[in-house]
Amino acid sequence: MSEEILKKLAEAMYEGDSDLVETLTKEALDAGVAPGDIIEKGGVSALDRLGKDFSELVVFLPQLMLAGHAMNKLLQIVRPHLSEKEGASRGKIIIGTAKGDFHDIGKSLVATQLEVSGFEVIDIGTNVSTNEFIQKAEETGADIIAMSSLLTTSQYYMEDCIKRLNDEGKRGTYRVVVGGGPIRQNYAEKIGADGYARTAYGSVSLCKELMKKTPDTEFIAIDA
Amino acid sequence: MDAHKKILRTLDKARTAPRVTEKEWDQIIVPNTAAEVVKAHGLTKTCDPVNPVNTDLELADKFFKAGWDLALRLGFFCPDTESVVKVDEEELHREFCKAPASFTVGKNNEVVTVSARKPSDGKPPVYVAPLSIQMDEELYVPLAEGIVSSRLVDMQEGPSIDTVMGRPLLADTPYETFAGIYEYHLRKEAQWRAGRVGMASALVSSSSTHFGFLGAFHLYEQPQIALCLNPASLKVNYTTLHKCFVANELNAFIRSESPTMIGGYTGGPEATAICSIATDILQFPITGAHLPGSPSYDIRYAGNCGRHGIWTQSIATQAVTRNSNILQMKTINQVAGPFTKMFFLETISGMTAASASGQTFTISPRSAGGSVKNHLTPLECWYNAAVFKGAAGISLAKANEIVKEVIPQFEDDLYNPPKGRSFQDLYDIKTLTPCEEYVKFYLEMREYAKSLGITMPGDGVLC
Ligand code: B12
């Protein structure tokens, strides 16, 4: 019975059907399926399959995004049933593309990968000013500010944001990660970011590592 | 005035159409409609990655019909107004038929006529260099002079700079307005030094938003080619339209562009190809572009010289060039950098397929994916030009054979390409001479292209 529900759940997750995921997750809990199994067998297994199919051009960005939202739904329902440690959200992330820059494809891929990996992601779009980044992070109580930039003329604003956080004594409140086409590890380090990843996949391990960050954690770079 | 009225109509439509969110457009309307159209026209799973250059011309014609159908169903989304600019069949037909089949730019010895080509056309296409690759500002003049010193390069577009007189060029600020003006002076000097006064340009390269363009496009003796890129495929925004008004008033020629992404919102190769076709067709009633160019990149590595990229781009190009006389432009996006074998192989793959499929115009290279500063030298530009022009007249079957020969040599490295070496590293900047080892390698790679059947016209500088 529970195997049957988990199979259906994984299928609904793969299809990105949030409503069905909601119903089946509740059913699974009612049927006494362990919350950890619901996440792993109902959610993560389907997302792994989607990731593989994306890399082979069987599914595309919109399906990944839908599945990301569905996974979020599943986690919202299951989280109260987990122990306090297990149930903690992976973290809340504000993500956007720096001011003057309208490139959104890489940023959306990163947002989706982070969401399917259990982070709560708030995508604030493109052409985001330093003020907006900081204001949104404050409003939402974000743990991580993630900035994307594909233009060297916009990447200056990443530095500006970190400087502003420092000047206003807020730097310790947020981990700051950066990435995008022209961004390199040494640049990220130079401007005082906490981490850099070259790809959307890398951004997941980066943010997971950073959530464990203590004040003396060194800069993290993921070249993958 | 007609051109202005067209843009006014677009603005009116955007302002008064019902609200649609960008999320709905990207994640639901575009993917679902494109998938429906692919199915309705019987194009499902027609992509053949084993034979990247399509040789079935009837299939290309079916793609054109599907692209047309999609254009009518979709229109362009405008993010500023959150609405869709729709076009009806009569308007699309009328504007499409009026699309220019040729135009002429440049003065004196530098006159270039851009005219429509067909698949396997023997007439060489027009080559423009480079893309907006970021360079240190002090390298702009030597690099641009070096690039345009070969007559294989018909016009100049990039490179671009990210500082102005040592100050950061912050996007969306008056620094950007000044950067447009500054680029004008640097460009004039580079073209003068290379003995190419009067050559046409595609502009404004160092302008991330519209400010650099509005500040400087009018400084050039017209007509020039105006860079009025769309914010994304199947979208138009106020930034684009600001530029279009100015370009039209100055009788300039509008170059539009925004790639579709294979694996992105548009879906798989077939749906992505028809989204590119629809983007190009819709430019005529919506922005009035003279050089429409929606290329297709593979989202997995942000380039288009691998199998799916070549297939998608070549079928979309054949579809449009066989069924119209429009001036098809598209970019070829390498991901490897200068002085890597992979860069040259990617170039053979992308440029041969493009030229044989009937492309009229291209701007390249995108060395190191365009994202590593100073990673561009004149030699990559000349090699791109020689392949693009030298592949004119090649049959699609032959182009497919060439592409099949080169792709296996680099496809495993597309996801982690070598970034190559910088301009300063490969050139003596003062004397503008490339290092010996690179010249030797460049000449070897020219011989290799010749051995594949590409004629490789000389660059007039080294050979
Ligand atoms: C698509 C594209 C466009 C489209 C954008 C469409 C859209 N809605 O996004 C259009 C046509 C509009 C466009 C316009 C311009 N573009 Co453009 N564009 C590109 C192109 C071809 C691909 C970018 C892309 O989508 N890549 C695919 C994604 C998946 O890759 P990605 O963004 O790098 O993201 C990955 C990683 O970097 C990482 N990542 C991304 N963000 C983040 C964030 C974090 C926190 C982390 C950890 C990781 C991470 O993960 C992602 C997935 O693995 C690149 C060239 C290239 N091949 O990269 C040029 C490029 C970025 N553009 C460039 C330029 C110059 C421009 C223009 C200024 C051109 C002009 N003169 O008008 C305008 C600027 C418009 C503006 N104000 O934004 C230059 C930038 C040069 C530079 N170093 O500054 C490039 C590099 C091309 C070039 N050199 O010729 N462009």
Q: In chain B, which stretches have pLDDT less than 50?
A: none
B263 and A57 in contact by Cβ < 8 A? yes
**CA trace torsion B410, B414, B420, B422 (10° rounding):** 140
Identify the band that residue A79 occupies on the pLDDT scale cut at 50, 70 and 90: confident
Which residues, listed in sequence order, are joined to residue B114 by a DSSP beta bridge? B103
> How many Å lie between the alpha carbon of A54 and the closest alpha carbon of chain B?
7
- Residue where a domain stops, chosen among A86, A120, A135: A86
Place of tokens 């992509």: B47
Angle B370-B349-B270 from CA coordinates, rounded to 5°: 90
Closest Cβ–Cβ partner in A66, A100, A105 for B171: A100
- The residue whose CA is least distant from atom 66 of ligand 1 is B208
Does the beta carbon of A209 sit less than 6 angstroms from any atom of ligand 1? no
- Is B165 contained in some domain? yes
pLDDT at A83 over 80: no
CA of B261 to the centre of ligand 1 (A): 12
Q: Quickly list H helices, B76-221.
A: 89-97, 137-148, 174-193, 211-216
Identify the band that residue A175 occupies on the pLDDT scale cut at 50, 70 and 90: very high
| Per-residue model confidence (pLDDT) at position B226 | 98
Q: Are residues A157 and A205 in the same domain?
A: yes
- Residue where a domain stops, chosen among A43, A63, A86: A86
Q: Are residues A56 and A109 in the same domain?
A: no
Residue A33 belongs to a domain with what CATH number? 1.10.1240.10
| Residue B129 near residue B364, CB atoms below 8 Å | yes
| Per-residue model confidence (pLDDT) at position A85 | 65
Domain of residue A12: give its range.
2-86
- The residue whose CA is least distant from atom 64 of ligand 1 is B132
Number of domains, chain A: 2
| Per-residue model confidence (pLDDT) at position B44 | 97
Does the beta carbon of A207 sit less than 6 angstroms from any atom of ligand 1? no
Give the burial class of A186: count Cβ atoms within 10 A of its Cβ; 0-12 exposed, 13-18 middle, 19 or more buried: exposed
| Per-residue model confidence (pLDDT) at position A87 | 64
Can you point out the beta strands (E) in B89-178? 102-105, 112-115, 126-129, 134-135, 155-156, 160-161, 163-164, 167-168
Residue B447 belongs to a domain with what CATH number? 3.20.20.460
- Is B341 contained in some domain? yes
Domain of residue B333: give its range.
102-451
Strands B134-135 and B433-434: unpaired
ipTM of the complex: 0.90
How many residues does this entry show for chain A? 224
- The residue whose CA is least distant from atom 31 of ligand 1 is A106
Q: Are residues A9 and A93 in the same domain?
A: no
Q: Which helix (H) or strand (E) holds A19?
A: helix A18-30
> How many Å lie between the alpha carbon of A71 and the closest alpha carbon of chain B?
17
| Per-residue model confidence (pLDDT) at position B186 | 98
Best interface-test mutation with A: which of B300, B307, B311, B374 has the largest number of A CBs within 10 A? B300
Helices A105-116 and A200-211 sit at what angle, rounded to 10 degrees? 50
Number of domains, chain B: 1
- Residue where a domain stops, chosen among A86, A103, A134: A86
Can you tell me the distance from the alpha carbon of B243 to that of B80, in angstroms, rounded to the nearest whole number?
15
Residue A126 belongs to a domain with what CATH number? 3.40.50.280
**Ligand 1 probe mutation, B132, B233, B294, most atoms within 8 A of CB:** B132
